[in-house]
Structure 1
Amino acid sequence: MVGGFNCGGSSSAAAIAEALKVNVYGEGMDTLVLAHGFGLDQSAWRYMIPYLACFFKVVVFDLVFSPNVKPEVYDERKYSSFEGYAKDLVCVLDHLHVERSIYVGHSMSAMIGCVAATYRPQLFQHLILLNASPRYLNGEGYNGGFERPVVDAIFNQMDKNFTNWVKNFAPFAVSINDPKTIAELEHSLGRMKPEIALSVAKMVFLSDLRQLLPKVKTPTTIIPTRKDNIVPKFVAFYIKSKVGCHAKVKILNSDGHFPQLTAYPQLLKVLAQVLHLQHKNSTA
């Protein structure tokens, strides 16, 4: 066992990779992992993959709550914390025989990457945390963006009338007036099984991974947008101050919680700078 977690053998890793619909694009020498957040699936990266696949072997997959994944795969006990998701990520990389990777995690997947990097630090050479938060609740001088009564109201709405909650939550989460993205998120959320969606929402909104951050020793770039209804900009600088490694913040010149859909040209530009892709291209 390396770094505190072993996937359990090639057959176990293969089963997880198959369940999570892993896809690989490109023939690059370096591996770039793109991990989506709550309510979406791997298709959220479709605008960015063609460009990134010119430089990397790009790995995408669906998180276990995705409606593309068979519902029986979701084990509420395993996924009661970020650890279950992080172990899935390690298993996917083991299945693909990845030894080093650059990891881009959006929203909840940012913290999934942080947890995985504490298990198997040698797997990750760079963490890129997009619209990331270690804690969504306010308190003790920390501005996570949500008061507990507001979060409890979200849970209650999800439980009582999931369809109505989806219609209200999608435009709030997107955070900007982008009808196409709002409709996509509404459709994607609406495909989730309500009981799974509620279980995941409780895990995410009530989590507190602030104590984990100093254990993250992988070089990290945090990418927030200027305004995000889900994650205040304060959180990006909080993460930078707490991680146990060199970290920098690159603020996107756009608003909203889903820049890979609403502002992907700007996001690709920032990623090109962070990953020195222009240099790679000029020397190819």
Structure 2
Amino acid sequence: MGIVEEAHNVRILGSGDQTIVLAHGFGTDQSVWKHLVPHLVDDHRVILFDNMGAGPTNPDYFDFDRYSSLEGYAYDLLAILEELRVTSCILVGHSVSAIVGMLASINRPDLFTKVICVSASPRYLNDVDYFGGFEQEELEQLFEAMRSNYKAWVSGFAPLAVGGDMDSVAVQEFSRTLFNIRPDIALSVAQTIFQSDMREMLGLVSVPCHILQSSKDLAVPVVVSEYLHKHLGSDSIVEVMSSDGHLPQLSCPDIVIPVLLRHIRFNILD
């Protein structure tokens, strides 16, 4: 196993001509794809990894400067693909990792046949003629809550993000992966994500993008999916699912997994 593979806990499952890379979002790790993976491994080569800073990674490897922008994560993704000698893949990216995948595809469009985006947003802050869902004051309150009492923040944030109560399995799972992250790293990552504005790069994306969005998502309003569709430089398609929450692949697998499988197999350009 190479250095990059080991650092990101890379796992390669299944076999097939088509390689699928599954990239998780903030607060989770590769386990968030547990409902999808069994449906892929018979016919595909599946690559799973943990973003640097996620609970299963070594916190000593987290470079606060490198990951103060999303480009650091895009370079990591490209480094993983290079070390594994991947020449073509479908990327399924959740939340911030969908945007990271787009960034990586701008640098190396030859590596990606398409990017499937689940709960993706180029900007979380509201702006003139743009509704991202948050005001700056709300984000400052979120950051302060993380800073002052991380455990209490997780207990409040997890059910809101997932769209359920603390008794649900999905909320307990998201709480577990959030608790596994070192609090100062979680705060830094949250600040990088929620303060980012990636709207200007959308027009540079040339690979097809499939935009999948929950009908109700605390973090990403439905109008954001239409914004992505309108401003991407590539062919794109939007599907709003009847799922609830920002982690629909975890909270609503019966709804979301069939949709993901259909988009993995369906090509916009066909």
TM-score range with shorter-chain normalisation? over 0.9
- 1:101 is matched with 89
Q: TM-score with structure 2 length normalisation?
A: 0.95
Aligned residues: 265
Is 1:144 the equivalent of 2:129?
Answer: no
- 2:66 is matched with 78
Report if aligned partners of 2:125, 2:133 keep a CA contact under 8 Å in 1.
Answer: yes
Give the Å deviation of 1:25.
0.8
- 1:282 is matched with none
Give the Å deviation of 1:276.
2.8
Runs of 4+ in 1 over 4 A off after TM superposition: none
Is 1:31 the equivalent of 2:10?
Answer: no
Match of 2:8 among 13, 17, 20: 20
- 1:257 is matched with 246
Counterpart residue type for residue 193 of structure 1:
R
Is 1:207 the equivalent of 2:196?
Answer: yes
What percentage of residue pairs aligned between the two structures are identical? 40
- 2:231 is matched with 242
Cα RMSD, aligned residues only: 1.3
User: Which blocks of at least 5 consecutive residues in structure 2 are unaligned?
Assistant: none
Is 1:156 the equivalent of 2:173?
Answer: no
Q: Distance in 2 between matches of 1:275 and 1:84?
A: 26
Match of 1:217 among 174, 183, 206: 206
Match of 1:127 among 81, 96, 115: 115
Match of 2:29 among 27, 30, 41: 41
- 1:51 is matched with 39
Give the Å deviation of 1:176.
3.3
Report if aligned partners of 1:17, 1:91 keep a CA contact under 8 Å in 2.
Answer: no
Q: Distance in 2 between matches of 1:165 and 1:137?
A: 20
- 1:112 is matched with 100
User: Which blocks of at least 5 consecutive residues in structure 1 are unaligned?
Assistant: 1-10, 278-284
Report if aligned partners of 2:9, 2:50 keep a CA contact under 8 Å in 1.
Answer: yes
Report if aligned partners of 2:32, 2:249 keep a CA contact under 8 Å in 1.
Answer: yes
Q: TM-score with structure 1 length normalisation?
A: 0.91
Report if aligned partners of 2:133, 2:219 keep a CA contact under 8 Å in 1.
Answer: yes
Structure whose residues are more often strand by fraction: 2
Report if aligned partners of 2:28, 2:54 keep a CA contact under 8 Å in 1.
Answer: yes
Q: Distance in 2 between matches of 1:67 and 1:254?
A: 26
